Amino acid sequence: MNKSVNIVGAGIIGLAFARAFSLKGYQVNVFERSERVVGSSIRNFGMVWPIGQHKNAMLNRANRTAEIWQEICEEAHIWYKKTGSLQLLSSPIEISMGQEFYDAEKDARPELEFYTLSQVQSLVPFVNKQHVRGALFSPTELIVESREALRLLPEFLKAKYQVNFHFNTAIIDCYNNILTTSAGQKHQADLTIIASGYETQLLFPTVFELAPVTISSLNMLRSYPISDQIPALCAGLSFLHYPSYEVCKSWQEYHSYCENEFPLQVQNGVHLLISQNAHGQLTIGDSHHYGKHHDPFQSNDIDQVILDYMNRIITPINFNVAERWTGQYLKLTNGKSEWFEEIQPNTYIANGTGGAGMTLGWGMAEECVEKIIH
């Protein structure tokens, strides 16, 4: 008889564990409270972003995750695009930061290149030439359309690995590897994985209160389709947001520069990320506000702070906002890359990937399942 695992949550982390356990011969059941996934995993940019990860372990995990995304998307006919990433640099200090990153990382990322403004213009015709002076290009980044991918993946995992999905099934208790649903049904397995994202406090309030975690709330926008096809973009402020850039010697100086130059962006945790989907729409963000509870109101002023910064970098023609939303994710405050903890015998929390669950999820699950099994 095969060993069994129950997984709570069908976001990217729950799905990644479902795949990893299936590959080890486990019988897998996934329980998702909603009729379709609506959490962090469909609210993001769909950026699979190795460039943002520290070299060595996390870069390897991100590269492995990118490889799995490509394999799965090809096999399941899910749209993705290997666009690479272009970090648009606007001032002498940003060019220096780019150079420092390049020098420190060129062994780990041999495909990294500096682009001149004219090379940037050939890829992004509407770049703002008043400010942008050049860019760092990395070819390793991919885009998936997460709201589509996350809804197609369960079908794929069911067909390929016989994973059983129980949608519309909220778990209200977990004890001794027995899950209780809101309808009162009990489901027992050898192992349990709690991949319930930023709502983990509902099922394990005490564990959540004691854990080194906070919740980040982000403002996001999406445009109507534009006609140009562009790579995934970020800009100078992203130096302050990804761990990989901490290798830059001028990091602290750049932080101070941004506090003076972009005070509203720094106060609201704004940097610029732009991904384009198959329809030509741009997903644009984001801001970051931290706390264990967030108001549900999306401030237009903060959206404007994001758009003001975007307009310094690019000025897309016929640009109009089609959608706005907020997303939340659980973030660790101890600097670790994931929250993977055995909270009861054979019951594990799998969480805390912060702003990088799409980038690290598949790889993280493979590594964690290896640890559990051995």
Ligand X SMILES: Cc1cc2nc3c(=O)[nH]c(=O)nc-3n(C[C@H](O)[C@H](O)[C@H](O)COP(=O)(O)OP(=O)(O)OC[C@H]3O[C@@H](n4cnc5c(N)ncnc54)[C@H](O)[C@@H]3O)c2cc1C
The site for ligand X (CB under 6 A) is made up of 8-14, 31-34, 37, 39-41, 43-47, 49, 170-171, 195-199, 202-203, 218, 220, 286, 327-329, 351, 353-359
Q: How far is the CB of 373 from ligand X (least distance, A)?
A: 21
Q: How far is the CB of 85 from ligand X (least distance, A)?
A: 11
Nearer to ligand X, 12 or 68 (CB): 12
Q: How far is the CB of 206 from ligand X (least distance, A)?
A: 15
Nearer to ligand X, 93 or 356 (CB): 356
Nearer to ligand X, 87 or 353 (CB): 353
Nearer to ligand X, 236 or 357 (CB): 357
Q: How far is the CB of 294 from ligand X (least distance, A)?
A: 11
CA-wise closest residue to 40 among 286, 326, 242: 326
CB 68 within 8 A of CB 18: no
Q: How far is the CB of 354 from ligand X (least distance, A)?
A: 6
Nearer to ligand X, 14 or 84 (CB): 14
Nearer to ligand X, 357 or 363 (CB): 357
Nearer to ligand X, 135 or 349 (CB): 349
Nearer to ligand X, 44 or 90 (CB): 44
Burial 39-69 (b: 16+ CB within 10 A, else e): bbbbbbbbbbbbbbbbeeebbebbbbbbebb
Q: How far is the CB of 144 from ligand X (least distance, A)?
A: 9
Q: How far is the CB of 214 from ligand X (least distance, A)?
A: 13
Q: How far is the CB of 91 from ligand X (least distance, A)?
A: 25
Q: What is the distance between the alpha carbons of residues 181 and 176, in angstroms, rounded to a whole number?
A: 15
Q: How far is the CB of 245 from ligand X (least distance, A)?
A: 16
Burial class (CB in 10 A: 0-12, 13-18, 19+), 299: middle
Nearer to ligand X, 51 or 127 (CB): 51
Q: How far is the CB of 368 from ligand X (least distance, A)?
A: 13
Nearer to ligand X, 137 or 329 (CB): 329
Q: Name the one residue in this structure whose structure tokens are 């390793």.
A: 140
Mapping DSSP onto H, E and C, the string for the chain reads: CCCEEEEECCCHHHHHHHHHHHHCCCEEEEECCCCCCCCHHHCCCCEECHHHCCCCHHHHHHHHHHHHHHHHHHHHCCCEECCCEEEEECCHHHHHHHHHHHHHHCCCCCCCEEEEHHHHHHHCCCECCCCCCEEEEECCCEEECHHHHHHHHHHHHHHHHCCEEECCCCEEEEECCEEEECCCCEEECCEEEECCHHHHHHHCHHHHHHCCEEEEEEEEEEECCCCCCCCEEEEHHHHHCCHHHHHCCCHHHHHHHHHHHCHHHHHCCCCCEEEECCCCCEEEECCCEEECCCCCCCCHHHHHHHHHHHHHHECCCCCCEEEEEEEEEEEECCCCCCEEEEEECCEEEEECCHHHHHHHHHHHHHHHHHHHHC
